[in-house]
Structure 1
C-alpha cells in the first residue's frame, strides 16, 4: 500500500487519523511462514533477503504463527536518524551474500515495522487501528527491528516535531482504512518536509527526447571554505517555456572553465560563469553536502552570487545520491 502526497487532514478530521514518522530507507514486505525462516521483498517484488543477514533471526520472533509485515529497512547515523546514503552501501547485495555479511558488520541496518496485512489470516479488510493494535501486541522489539509509535490526532504537532528534529516527514493514516496492496491510496497521506536553499548555477546538462535542445538539468553550487562547491543537480521545477528562457540565459554565460572547486566529474557538462542565483527546495543533504531530491523553485535576481546562501560545510564524507 502506497501513500499519496498531500497535506494534513482538516482539523475537524484530525481525530480520525494516526500519524507516523516518514522514514528514509528501503520499503520491504516481510514474510514469516512460521517455520523459522524470513523472506524480504522490495517494492519491485525482488527477493532481497540475503542483502540483510542480520534480519534472519526475525524468522523465529513469532514462533509458528505465519505473518506478513510491512516496514522499512534503515541505516542509522550517529544521532540515530535514518541516513539513506549509509543504506546505499547495503542495498543491491542480495546476490553477494559474502559481501552483504561483511557490510552488515560495518553498517548494520534496523527494520521498522508499521503494518501487519496478514497474521494467521488476512487482515486486509481490517481497519488500520485494529491492525496497528495487533502489530503492537506482537512485541517485535529485537536487536535489529522495532515498531515505532504512532500518534492518534495532534497532526500539526507531529509534523512540527519531525521538522524540528530534521526528519524526512510524516505519514497520515486514516484509522478506519483497509490495507490496499499496490494501491496509492488517499487513506495514507505522506508529507515530506522540504527545506530551501539559495544556489549558484555553474553549469548545465543537455536534455534528451522532448527536452532536446533545452537544459535537462542545471548544476548547482554553494559557497563553502571560500570557494564555490558543487552541491548537486536539479532537473525539475520548470515549464517548457521557462526552460527556454533559462537556455537563453545560460547561453549568454557560456564558459570553458568549470567554476566549481574541486571540479566534479560530470559527462556532457556545459560550464557557465557563476552569475545566476536561484532557490531550490530539497529534502536533506548527503554527508558530502549535496542536496537530496532538489526541485527548482525560482530565480533570485534580487541576489548576487556574493550575497547568496551562507557557507556550506566542508566535504566530510562520500558522495550520495
Structure 2
C-alpha cells in the first residue's frame, strides 16, 4: 500500500466514490470470485475522519453533507488517532428495518442546524459502511476488495447510527434470495480482487436491482410533449381498495410509440368527465377514463406517500381488461 505524507492531521486525501455497473449477477460457476452485499436505497457518502474526533461527509455529487446528518458526527469520536476515509450509504429505515428513500428525502439538503437536529430525532439516518480507502497514513485503493473489507471489519466502528453490514463471498443466489425476501433494493457484486477506482464506473462492481411487477387499473392519462403531443405521455395508475380506486402514480417510462398509439385508441372510447379516483390526483391537465383497462408495470418499491417508485410499463393485460 502507498504511504502518503498527509499534514496537518485533518488534510485527508479527497477520494471520489467508485461506481458499479448495472449488470446481471455473476454466473454460478464464477460466484467464488465475487463478494456480495446489500444494495442500499440511500445517498452515497464518503466519510472523512482525521482522527481528532471530527467527521466530514461528502456526497457523490461533491456536496458537504456534514451539517445535514448531525447524528453521524459520533463516528469520528469512535476513531481517535486513526485518520481514515470510508465509503458508505446514508439511509433511513422504516419500522420494518427496510431503507425508505421517501423518508430519507425529508432529510436531504437541510443545512440549518436546528432544523437538521429536529429531523434527526424524527427521521434518524444510519450510515452503512462498506469500504475503506485510506487508513493510518496509507492509501488502500490498490489493495483488493477482500483485504479492504478485512481492514474495515477490523476497525470495530459499530455504533447507534452507523455499522458495517456483513458481506458474503461466493453465494450470489443466496444473497439474491435473502435481499428479495428482506425487501431490499437489490445486490451489489464486487470482484474479490478488485482495486478501488475513484470516480470510475467499473465492471468489477455490479449492481442488480430487484423489481416488483403489479397489475394496475388505468384511470386517466397525461398528454405527451413534442412528437408525442396527442398521445399518452403517461397513464395514471390506480389500485382498487375498499375506499374506491386509489391513485398510486403515473407510468410513462417503457412505453414505445406503437404502444402509445394503441393506448390512445383504446382510451378514446372510454372517456369520462370526472376523475375515477377516490382521492386527489396531483397531475395537471389529466384526461379521465373509465377504469377498465388493466396494465402490468414494474417498480422498485413504494414512497412515503404510497406512490410507485421508479415505475416502468411492461404491457397491457387484455385478459384482465373489462370493456363491456
Q: Give the one of 189, 193, 196 matched to 1:176.
A: 193
Q: Distance in 2 between matches of 1:291 and 1:265?
A: 14
Render the CA deviation track for 1:248-275: whole Å, top value 9, x for unaligned. Answer: 3223333221110013232222222212
Deviates more, 1:213-222 or 1:98-107: 213-222
Q: Give the one of 74, 86, 105 matched to 2:121.
A: 105
The reply on whether 1:57 has 2:74 as its aligned counterpart is yes
Partner of 1:133: 150
Deviates more, 1:245-254 or 1:46-55: 245-254
Q: Kindly report structure 1 stretches of 4+ aligned residues shifted beyond 6 Å.
A: none
Partner of 1:241: 258
Partner of 1:31: 48
Q: Aligned to 1:161, what secondary structure does the other structure show? A: helix
Deviates more, 1:69-78 or 1:32-41: 32-41
Equivalent runs, 1:178-217 vs 2, <5 Å: 178-217=195-234
Conserved 8 A contact 2:100-2:304: no
Conserved 8 A contact 1:255-1:273: yes
Equivalent runs, 1:49-128 vs 2, <5 Å: 49-93=66-110, 95-119=111-135, 120-128=137-145
Q: Distance in 2 between matches of 1:170 and 1:159?
A: 6
Conserved 8 A contact 2:49-2:84: yes
Conserved 8 A contact 1:200-1:305: no
Partner of 2:3: none
Q: Aligned to 2:290, what secondary structure does the other structure show? A: strand
Conserved 8 A contact 2:103-2:304: no
Q: Aligned to 2:262, what secondary structure does the other structure show? A: helix
Deviates more, 1:208-217 or 1:228-237: 208-217
Cα offset, 1:179, TM superposition: 1.1
Q: Give the one of 149, 159, 169 matched to 1:142.
A: 159
The reply on whether 1:297 has 2:297 as its aligned counterpart is no
Q: Distance in 2 between matches of 1:35 and 1:127?
A: 28
Cα offset, 1:42, TM superposition: 1.3
Cα offset, 1:288, TM superposition: 4.2
Q: Give the one of 261, 283, 306 matched to 1:266.
A: 283
The reply on whether 1:164 has 2:184 as its aligned counterpart is no
Partner of 1:40: 57
Cα offset, 1:178, TM superposition: 1.1
Cα offset, 1:226, TM superposition: 4.8
Render the CA deviation track for 1:15-62: whole Å, top value 9, x for unaligned. Answer: 000010111111111112233221111111111111100111112222
Q: Distance in 1 between matches of 2:182 and 2:273?
A: 42
- How many residue pairs end up in the alignment? 305
Cα offset, 1:305, TM superposition: 5.3
TM-score by length of 1: 0.90
Q: Distance in 2 between matches of 1:152 and 1:185?
A: 19
Partner of 2:300: 283
CA 1:273–1:191 in 2, change beyond 3 Å: closer, same or farther?
Answer: same
Q: Aligned to 1:255, what secondary structure does the other structure show? A: coil
* Uncovered stretches (5+) of structure 1, i.e. residues with no partner: 307-321
The reply on whether 1:227 has 2:259 as its aligned counterpart is no
CA 1:130–1:242 in 2, change beyond 3 Å: closer, same or farther?
Answer: same
Render the CA deviation track for 1:205-262: whole Å, top value 9, x for unaligned. Answer: 2223453443222110010115111011112112222222223322333322111001
